[in-house]
Amino acid sequence: MNKQSTRAFSAGMLFIAVIIFIYCFYFDTSSSLSSVPIPDGHAVIKESVLKEKENEIAELKEQLNTIKTESGKDKSPSTSEKYQLTLTIESGMTPADIEEKLKQAKIISDDEQFVQHIVDNEYADNIQIGDFLVKSGMSLEEIAKLITK
């Protein structure tokens, strides 16, 4: 092979490489570099659709709050209802178990954070095993002091 044929062969290879590059860049859509694989259970949505859905969620939350406040106004608090419970604390019971029993007996309301109160005030390690008489008028502090004597 002489110099002239080697140069022609090299020029041909360069020409073919440029043609393949142009084809892949402009016409080949199967191997797009911008596409990212989407994991199962996920979806791709447009930003405008996302904004619409966020607005809908905000409106629904506002409606829910309105309904909650209206239903709260309709209910008259009944102070005549008094509940009491003989709370039996057994070995291995957690503050969450105690809270559940108190809620079931309507001694504390669902929005009261009994477990958080016990932990924050360091009563959790001092809970005693036994039977305790608790009433619905008692505060969280009174209940905590009663069961940690």
- Identify the CA nearest to 106 among candidates 76, 136, 137, 73: 136
Cα gap 145→134, rounded to integer Å = 11
**Rounded-to-integer distance, Cα 135 and Cα 106, Å:** 9
How does DSSP classify residue 134?
E
For residue range 125-143, what is the model confidence (pLDDT) as tens digits? Answer: 889 999 999 988 888 899 9
- pTM here is 0.45
Q: Where are the domains of the chain?
A: 38-74, 84-147
CATH number for the domain running over 84-147: 3.30.1490
Instruction: Kindly tell me if the per-residue pLDDT of 116 is higher than 80.
Output: yes
Query: Token pair of 63, please?
Result: 């409606």
- When comparing pLDDT for 79 and 14, which is higher? 14
Q: Which whole-number Å values give the CA distances from 81 to 84, 107, 136, in the listed order?
A: 10, 11, 9
Tell me the per-residue pLDDT of 46-73, one tens digit each, with 9 for 90 and over.
899 999 999 999 999 999 988 888 876 6
Across the range 94-120, mean pLDDT stands at: 87
Bridge partners, residue 122, by sequence: none
Neighbours of 98 (CB within 10 A): 22
Output 72 or 84, whichever has higher pLDDT: 84
Q: How far is CA 114 from the centre of its chain?
A: 22
Contact 72, 99 (CB under 8 A): no
